[in-house]
Each structure stands twice: as structure tokens, then as C-alpha cells.
Structure 1
């Protein structure tokens, strides 16, 4: 058990190298008490320590994976952060970060830290994404984003986990899934920002959480904090992939690829699918099925949304940001 308030997590590619951090300013999909201090220095978790880490206690030997090195953990943390930023409600500032030469260089650099079997495939997908991340591509990306995710209670490709699942059984587990996500976040002392409009199951929050865990893993290795803390970080990532992010991402990306053209968003869908599936395999997990169906739309709710202002909210939002 560790106190997140004092556990710093590195975010550097290599000695002297800097990871470009997302732009400052209001970000809705963010944990309020997890902040980056500098582009080349550590990140730290502020706030009170969690009441208990019982939710994420590691089982010795259960987090078996070949990626037990600090550089790869840092690389994975950056990839999760990059994807979280890419799937946020698009803004000119965020798009400028995605298109910057520093971000492109960092993405190429971190992919070099993956093993030889995985690296080439991810690099090919990443290069296809980067080819579309250009300043002039912002408006087409916005159009695709609106077409895919909409501005109603649910678009054609929902960004929320509990929208995907078994049509008969899954509704019974939807409250449990949300509660389980909240428990994961609390176990590591993470709190949603006051202006975070999304639910706990929003894709960007799940990606950011995995980024935090991977960064903590890197710090546990670099600072030689001991096997138990490293095991805790690894086991928590494995559980989160199995129970959440890895369960529904294949179905989400399949739906997204079917909805948008071969632009930046469509290529991001392929990239995130390949990355998350690779993560699952690295942890000895089977990725979720692409065949997961969307829950039926409540026509009454959709009709209400059309007249109550919800169309003006960001995709996945449950209330208007403050």
C-alpha cells in the first residue's frame, strides 16, 4: 500500500528527453488531483491518500507480462495519454498539440520501446494516424467526430462502456460496472475534476487511468520501490483491461470504423484497437468480442434530449460543464 500524494511518476522518454504534455487549460476528461509538473520532469498525484487499496490488491504472480521495464511503462503511459487526448471533444488547442512536431516525435520514439514483434505493427498504424494529424485537418476531424459521436444522449458510436454488452444480461450489470470503475479510481486516490461532465465509463477517463497506472509502474521500477508496489501496478492494469477497457474497446472501434471514412478518426480507431488488443495479449488476456451489441435506445429519452439542450453538450456528457 502506498500514499499517492507522495508517489511521483516519471514521464520522460529517456535521460534528457521530454514528453510533450497536453496543453494547459480546462480539460473535462481528467482526474483533478493528478497533474503534470513539467514536460521533462515527474508527474505527481496530489490530495489525500486513499482509505484503502483493497480494491486493487495484487495477487503474487498474477500480473505476468513481458513488458516489465521502466522505458516500456513510460512508453505505454504516453500512448494511453495520447489516445485520451485524441478522443476528447476536439478543440483547436488540443488539435494543435496532436499535430505538433514534438508530439509526433514522441509518439515515434515511444513505439521504439516496444518489443520487436509488436513495434512494427503499431508503428505502421501510428504513421497512418500521424499522416492525418495536420493543422488543416481540424474541420474534417470535427465533422467525423460529430457524425460518429453526435451531440445527443448517445451517438452512433457511444464513448461510454456500459452502452456495449449483452442485451439481456448486461443492463443488470451497468450500475455495477460504474461502481467498479469508481472503486478503481478511488483505490488510487484519483478524483474527477469538478468540471468533468462525463461518466466514469467514458473512454477518455479509462484511457487516462491506464496512463496513470503505467506511469506509476515506471516510477516503481525506476525508484526501486520493491516488487510488491510494481506487482500492484501491474495487477491493477491487468484487472482494469480485463473488466473494462479491453472488454468493450474492440466493439467500439469496429462500430467507429464502420461509421467514419479513412480519415484521422478512422485511423485512430484502428490504432487504439491494435494497441489495446496488444496490451491484453501482453497481460495474458483475451480481448473482448467485436460482436458486443449496443444497448437499445430509449426512444422517449432520445426525444426528450432533442428538446432539452442536451444536443449542445459534448459527446458522452451527463451534464453541462461548469
Structure 2
């Protein structure tokens, strides 16, 4: 693995772009997703990390969409319950990793909250979702990757190691199981193979492509990150 500032900057770019797709698609979000400079940076990051096919699939899906097409697609998939009172796709980690175990769900959410606070990521007042939402957890890895790039660029190896351990823990305890299961559910719902009680708009392909990129990125990171290490064990994480 390339443990360089540039490598982690590229990781941050892809995590951030995937996270942005799963925000509610207001005008600002859609403008950011379709910004030419942003897309160029994401495309380059995809090539450098070997995820160019997933990136191109997402950029192709975004081509020509606008808020008026994305908003109903988002609402159909994530925002509004169907006739049975359930969402076609649940965007929260606990649904996939803890099931009906309320105490475990609360513990995982509390862990995410603690990590957000530790690494300086504050939830916007406009973001009205639980802290185990897919956007929040992808943004957490974006921040960890970006901070790791800064630490390495400044020669702060101790902080870089701490961030490597934190990233490994987030993958191991949260996104490693969550994101692939979430991506599978998005794909089967968009493809018409799920149990949704309604059709989904054509623009839903954007969310299937974004979920595919997120799952590929998590798989890439799981293969290259060190094992999670408890603080104070003296074991160095060099990934």
C-alpha cells in the first residue's frame, strides 16, 4: 500500500464524493456532485486507486440528472416509508449490523458519536438523521483519510499511526459489514429484485452506482488497513 499524503487524499476524495451522494439532494448538493473540478479530482482518484470503473459508473449515472429527478428517487429509496411502513432501503448501520438488539445498536451509535467528536466532525444543523447514517460514516472515513494525509505531509508519524488505527476500527466495527449489505439492498431495489412495494425512478441508478463505489472503496481499504489495535498496546500500525 502507498502510505503517502497523496494516497490518503485520494481516499478522502472518494469517500467524500460517495458520502455527498447520500445526502438529501438539495441544489447545493447536486451542484457539488456535478462540479467539473470535483468530478475531475474524483476521476483521477479512482484511476490512482484502481476504482476507475466504479467512479465512471457513478459519474455516468450523474450525467444529466438534476434536483427534480434526484429528489423523488431519494425519497422513494430512503426518505419515505411505503404502504407497509418500511423503507425500501434503510440507510442506517444498526439495521444491518445489530438487527433488533437495541443495546448493541445504541452502543454502536454512541461509538460513532464519540469518533465524530474525537476527530472534529460536527453534524450540520440541517442534517436531520441518526449518527449511524451512511453519509455520516462515509464522511468519518473521509475525515480520517484527510487528517492522515496532513499528518504524513507534516512528518507527524505518531498521529498518522493513531489515524490508521482509528480508520481500521471504523472499518472493522462499522462500515465493513454495513456498506456491502447496504449496497446490495440498494442494487436489488433499483434493479427491481427487492421487496419494495413501488417502482423507483430512473435516477435511482445514481444511488446504486454510489453504493457500488462505497462498497468497493471499503473493500479496498479493508485489504490495505492494519488490524484494529487497542490504544496503549505498543503495536505499531504502519498501513
Size of the alignment, in residue pairs?
A: 212
1:234 aligns with 2:182: no
Query: What is aligned with 1:210?
Result: 141
**What's the CA shift string for 1:83-103, capped at 9, x where partnerless?**
111110111231122122212
TM-score, normalisation: structure 1:
0.61
Query: What is aligned with 1:178?
Result: 109
Query: What is aligned with 1:223?
Result: 154
1:151 aligns with 2:80: yes
Q: Distance in 2 between matches of 1:137 and 1:88?
A: 14
| Secondary structure class of the residue paired with 2:19 | helix
| Secondary structure class of the residue paired with 2:62 | coil
Whether the 8 Å CA contact 1:144–1:260 is kept in 2: the answer is no
Moved over 4 A (4+): none
Counterpart selection for 1:259 from 157, 178, 189? 189
TM-score, normalisation: structure 2:
0.81
Q: Distance in 2 between matches of 1:259 and 1:131?
A: 20
Greater share of residues in helix: 2
Assess, with a 3 A threshold, how the Cα gap between structure 1 residues 126 and 78 changes in structure 2: closer, same or farther: same
Q: Distance in 1 between matches of 2:70 and 2:120?
A: 34
Whether the 8 Å CA contact 2:4–2:152 is kept in 1: the answer is yes
Query: What is aligned with 1:299?
Result: none
Query: What is aligned with 1:248?
Result: 178
Q: Distance in 2 between matches of 1:245 and 1:190?
A: 17
Assess, with a 3 A threshold, how the Cα gap between structure 1 residues 198 and 166 changes in structure 2: closer, same or farther: closer
Q: 1:154 offset after TM fit, Å?
A: 5.3
Give the structure with higher Rg (CA). Answer: 1
Q: Distance in 2 between matches of 1:194 and 1:101?
A: 28
| Secondary structure class of the residue paired with 1:112 | helix
Counterpart selection for 2:219 from 263, 272, 277? 277
